Amino acid sequence: MELESITFDKNLGHMTIERQQPLISKTKVVKHLIQDISGVEIQEMSGSESNKYRVCLLLESGKRRVPLTSSFITGLGDKQKKAQLIATFLNIRNYGLEGCPRQISSELQWETIEAEIIHWETAIGNDSNDADAHMKLAFALVKQDKTKNKEQVISYLKQAEAIFKSKGYEEEAMQAFQLWSTIY
């Protein structure tokens, strides 16, 4: 069993998700800046007996999805009300059950590897806290020349790990760590 509480604090400028597991005395707290929240959607999971739903926040213009609850439960109407309440309170878009369109930029086909590298370098130049751009630049550098770009790749993956950690994305931070430690 997991107890979850979500707090939106406009005065402090952040949203907090606190997940408690009382049986093992474990609490996980994740914070996000309200300014990073760009929308809200409802995720659906089809089950054998009925469909289940959960409300999910969209961060960084849809690049990252953060579910408000770890589990899906029945009751679409409740989720629709909750999503609308959040959208109204934060003045963000409610994508509802249709969901936000997935980012097309991550599926772009590059004419050259150099063009892809320039794209991700520019993205990092525009937002140095974009961990996904750091990861994608590292992957592009590996594609270009794994041996020659080794130090740069490790540097970008370490930066991605630090950014993910600072934003509370432990799984993504661990993935970045595993990648750079494998290369190292």
Q: Give pLDDT tens digits for 146-166.
A: 888 989 999 999 999 999 888
Number of domains the chain is built from: 2
Domain that holds residue 137: 105-183
Q: Please check whether residues 89 and 116 belong to one and the same domain.
A: no
Question: Helix or strand or coil: residue 11?
Answer: coil
Residue ranges of the alpha helices (H) in the chain?
76-90, 113-126, 131-145, 150-166, 170-183
Domain boundary among 78, 96, 114: 96
Q: Please, are residues 14 and 151 in contact by the beta-carbon 8 Å criterion?
A: no
CA gap 105, 86 in Å, rounded: 27
Supply the pLDDT for residue 33.
83
Task: Extract the tokens encoding 110.
Answer: 């590059």
pLDDT greater than 80 at residue 47: no
Question: Helix or strand or coil: residue 152?
Answer: helix
Q: Please check whether residues 110 and 86 belong to one and the same domain.
A: no
Local confidence band at 108 (pLDDT 50, 70, 90 cut-offs): low
Q: Please check whether residues 60 and 109 belong to one and the same domain.
A: no
Burial class (CB in 10 A: 0-12, 13-18, 19+), 154: middle
pLDDT, tens digit (0-9, with 9 covering 90-100), for 29-38: 878 888 888 8
Please report, in angstroms and rounded to a whole number, the separation of the first and last CA atoms in the chain.
39
